[in-house]
């Protein structure tokens, strides 16, 4: 019985020890996977941020080049801009169109010709036009919806980049501008989401200053609460107020990484969001590590059980032999005692008296 109790105690100790070990191993594996996914997100967000930074800077350089061409010449026409657009920007470009506005803010030329309905519209009310006149430097707008004065213009959202055109005497002639295609920026960001096989989350371009989500995954639901949370995270991450790389929303844990777009004209930030249960797709690695330990523990339990049962059997045999020896010893002692009695002088004298009585 004592052996059985010891065995039960041993098994309990092994199970408790194994449970503690497995939990510790599980925690370490979860942390390792979190760090791996965070590193992947960091690399991807950095790549997207660098791509957008390159898009903005290259657009700025292209406009400066165009401005230098037309600074001492007559204003560009739609046909002239169309040739430039078709030869340079039609392919492998994030530009939706390029245009020229005169000093009064009236659209005079635009390419490609699909946007020709915008010619004649006046954009002097736009902040980017007013800043370009006052600062006489390149201006990047916020995300804007296209102004549709005639109602037959194309309906789109874009980021507008404008550069003042001045003559040699620094007289303002108008502005050269370009609309950055927000759909292409969306596709660039969504391409990473598809590559990473994400669901309703993925990579976001966030303008934290203006509290807007510029771009994000195509199949995400319009959850204003979630968007507010993302904007709060983006703003805190920009000012280095977040030390953690996870957050919880609706009892679901997410891992995130952020990177700022390097351009002084923007407050854009790329935010990568990934549900933790999507990042930890399998526990096979954990099972591989503990499988050998489980086999070893089961082996130890079997060996200990075999030893206990074998010892129990030996113990029973020993007890049986001891009983037999005790019986044999008792019998021998009885025989020796009887022999001692029969050989004693008293017994012999008694025997002689008995015999003499029998004769008489």
Percentage of the chain modeled with pLDDT above 70: 65
Residue range 208-226, pLDDT digits in tens? 667 677 777 755 555 677 7
> 264 in a domain, yes or no?
no
The answer to the question of residue 213 being in a domain is: no
Give the residue-averaged pLDDT of 310-336. Answer: 68
pTM: 0.63
87, part of any domain: yes
Structure tokens at 136: 């006489």
Rounded alpha-carbon distances, angstroms, from residue 94 to 84, 181, 187, 253, 331: 15, 6, 11, 35, 112
User: How do residues 17-62 score in pLDDT, each as one tens digit?
Assistant: 767 776 777 777 777 777 777 888 888 888 888 888 888 888 888 8
Arithmetic mean of pLDDT over the chain: 75
In a domain, 160, yes or no: yes
Q: Which domain holds residue 298?
A: 291-359
More confident residue, 191 or 80: 80
Q: Which of 75-79, 101-105, 263-267 has the highest mean pLDDT?
A: 101-105
Q: What is the pLDDT of residues 276-286, one digit of tens each?
A: 765 454 455 55
Domain tally, the chain = 2
Q: Pick from 184, 204, 234: which residue ends a domain?
A: 184
**245 close to 259: Cβ distance less than 8 angstroms:** no
Mean pLDDT for the stretch of residues 261-271:
75
Q: Is residue 151 part of a domain?
A: yes
Instruction: Check whether 228 has a pLDDT greater than 90.
Output: no
Write down the pLDDT at residue 284. 53
User: Which of 5-9, 108-112, 114-118 shows the lowest mean pLDDT across its residues?
Assistant: 5-9
Last residue of a domain, one of 184, 205, 231: 184
- The pairing of beta strand 252-260 with beta strand 268-275: antiparallel
Where residue 137 sits, what CATH number does that domain have? 3.30.450.20
DSSP 154: -
Paired tokens of 240: 């280095």
285-290, Cβ contacts within 8 angstroms, sequence gap of 24 or more:
285/29, 286/25, 286/26, 286/29, 289/25, 289/29, 290/21, 290/22, 290/25
104: pLDDT confidence band, cut at 50, 70 and 90?
very high
pLDDT tens digit sequence for 139-177: 888 888 899 988 898 998 888 999 888 877 777 888 999
272 lies in some domain: no
- Residues 284-313, mean pLDDT to the nearest whole number: 66
- Total Cβ atoms within 10 A of residue 155: 9
Is 258 part of any domain? no
Question: Are the beta carbons of 177 and 98 closer than 8 angstroms?
Answer: yes
Residue 117 within a domain: yes
Q: Are residues 180 and 295 located together in one domain of the fold?
A: no
Highest-scoring range by mean pLDDT, 7-16, 129-138, 185-194, 341-350: 129-138
pLDDT of residue 281: 47
Residue that finishes a domain, picked among 135, 158, 184 = 184
The pLDDT confidence band at residue 308, using thresholds 50, 70 and 90, is low
């Amino acid at each position: 019985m004592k052996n059985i109790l010891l065995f039960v105690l041993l098994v309990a100790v092994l199970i408790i020890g194994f449970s503690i070990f497995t939990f510790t191993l599980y925690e370490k594996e979860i942390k390792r996977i979190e760090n791996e996914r965070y590193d992947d997100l960091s690399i991807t967000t950095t790549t997207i941020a660098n791509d957008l930074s390159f898009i903005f800077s290259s657009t700025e350089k292209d406009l400066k080049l165009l401005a230098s061409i037309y600074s001492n010449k007559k204003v560009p026409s739609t046909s002239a801009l169309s040739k430039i657009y078709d030869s340079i920007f039609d392919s492998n470009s994030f530009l939706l169109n390029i245009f020229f506005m005169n000093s009064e803010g009236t659209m005079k030329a635009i390419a490609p010709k699909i946007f020709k309905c915008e010619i004649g519209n006046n954009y002097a009310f736009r902040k980017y036009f007013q800043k370009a006149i006052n600062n006489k430097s390149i201006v990047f707008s916020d995300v804007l919806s296209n102004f549709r004065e005639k109602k037959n213009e194309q309906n789109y959202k874009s980021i507008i980049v404008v550069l003042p055109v001045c003559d040699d005497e620094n007289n303002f002639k108008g502005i050269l501008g370009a609309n950055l295609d927000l759909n292409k920026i969306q596709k660039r960001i969504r391409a990473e989401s598809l590559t990473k096989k994400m669901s309703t989350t993925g990579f976001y371009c966030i303008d934290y200053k203006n509290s807007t989500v510029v771009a994000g995954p195509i199949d995400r639901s319009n959850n204003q609460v979630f968007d507010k949370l993302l904007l709060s995270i983006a703003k805190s991450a920009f000012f280095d107020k977040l030390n953690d790389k996870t957050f919880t929303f609706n009892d679901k844990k997410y891992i995130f990484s952020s990177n700022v777009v390097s351009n002084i004209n923007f407050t854009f930030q790329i935010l990568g969001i990934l549900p933790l249960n999507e990042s930890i797709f399998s526990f096979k690695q954990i099972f591989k590590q503990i499988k050998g330990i489980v086999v070893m523990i089961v082996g130890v339990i079997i060996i200990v059980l075999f030893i206990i049962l074998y010892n129990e059997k030996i113990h029973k045999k020993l007890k049986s032999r001891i009983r037999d020896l005790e019986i044999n010893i008792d019998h021998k002692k009885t025989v020796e005692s009887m022999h001692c009695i029969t050989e004693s002088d008293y017994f012999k004298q008694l025997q002689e008296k008995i015999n003499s009585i029998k004769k008489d």
